[in-house]
Amino acid sequence: MRKLDQEFYNHDTLTLAKLLLGCELVHETAAGITSGIIVETEAYLIDDPACHAYRKQTPRNAVMFGPAGNLYVYQIYNHYNCINVVSGKEGVGEAVLIRALAPKEHIELMTTRRNEAFKTGFARFRNNVIGSNTANGLQNLTNGPAKLTTAMGITKANHNGASLINSAIFIRKSRLKNFEIITTTRIGLTKGVDLPYRFYIKGNEFVSRK
C-alpha cells in the first residue's frame, strides 16, 4: 500500500486526527517490520491548554513547530514514550497523538518487546505481561500510547523529529473502510478536559477506553 505523502499531513489538525483512523503505522527495523492500524487519536491545538505548545516554544516541544508529518515523541513518567504526528502550519505548534493501534504485522516481535519491557522493571506494565497466542494478550498489546510505542520499538531518543515521509517509520493509507468515528473528550488530562478532541473507531476492540 502507498505511503502517505506531504499533502496528507497538510490538513488541519482536527481533520488529520480523523483521517489517520484506519491508516497503518509501520516501523522497519533490523529485527523486523512491525505495523498496526490506527484506531484512536487525540488532537492538540495551539489554543488548547492541554497542548505542549500552548504557552510558547521550548527545547522540549520544538519539534511541534516544525513541518507537518514529522514525529513529536515525548516521555511520560520520565520513561514511557508517546508518539504524535506534527500537524498544522509550520511555526504554529500542533500535533495528533496516536493513542491505540490494532496490531497487524510481526505480532511476535511486538509481544517480545512488551514483555522485555516488563522484565526490565517498567512498573506500569507490571500487570500487562502478554502472550500473542491469547485473545486477551493481543487486545492488550497496543491499546494505549505507551504500550504501542514499546511494541513498535519507538523511542524519544531515536525518533523524535523523524519524518514520516522519508524515514523507517511511516504511515500507509487507510486499510479500513466504512467505519463510524466516535468523537469524545480526551483521557487523563487536567486541562482542556471538555474539548471533544478524541476520535476512535466505533466498536473496535483495540481502543484504549470506550
pTM of the model: 0.91
Taking Cα atoms as reference points, which of 61, 54, 67, 23 lies closest to residue 199?
A: 23
Alpha-carbon gap, residue 164 to 179, rounded angstroms: 25
Is residue 179 in some structural domain?
yes
Do 150 and 54 meet the contact criterion of CB atoms below 8 Å apart? no
Q: For the domain that residue 138 is a member of, what is the CATH number?
A: 3.10.300.10
Q: How far lies 60's CA from each of 56, 68, 75, 186, in Å? A: 11, 17, 10, 22
Is residue 116 in some structural domain?
yes
pLDDT at 124: 47
pLDDT at 109: 95
pLDDT at 136: 59
Is residue 129 in some structural domain?
yes
In terms of Cβ atoms closer than 10 Å to its own Cβ (0-12, 13-18, 19+), residue 68 is buried
Alpha-carbon gap, residue 18 to 43, rounded angstroms: 9
What range does the domain containing 165 cover? 6-201
Taking Cα atoms as reference points, which of 109, 118, 108, 103 lies closest to residue 148?
A: 103
Q: Is 15 helix (H, G, I), strand (E, B) or coil?
A: helix
Alpha-carbon gap, residue 53 to 66, rounded angstroms: 12
Is residue 208 in some structural domain?
no
Alpha-carbon gap, residue 111 to 125, rounded angstroms: 12
Is residue 125 in some structural domain?
yes
pLDDT at 131: 52
Is residue 12 in some structural domain?
yes
pLDDT at 1: 67
Is residue 144 in some structural domain?
yes
Is residue 1 in some structural domain?
no
Give how many domains the chain has, as a whole number.
Answer: 1
Alpha-carbon gap, residue 24 to 38, rounded angstroms: 6
pLDDT in tens, the chain (210 residues): 689 999 999 999 999 999 999 999 999 999 999 999 999 999 999 999 999 999 899 999 999 999 999 999 999 876 789 999 999 999 999 999 999 999 999 999 999 999 887 665 544 444 454 554 444 568 889 999 999 999 999 999 999 999 999 999 999 998 788 899 999 999 999 999 999 999 999 999 999 998
Taking Cα atoms as reference points, which of 69, 41, 30 lies closest to residue 162?
A: 69
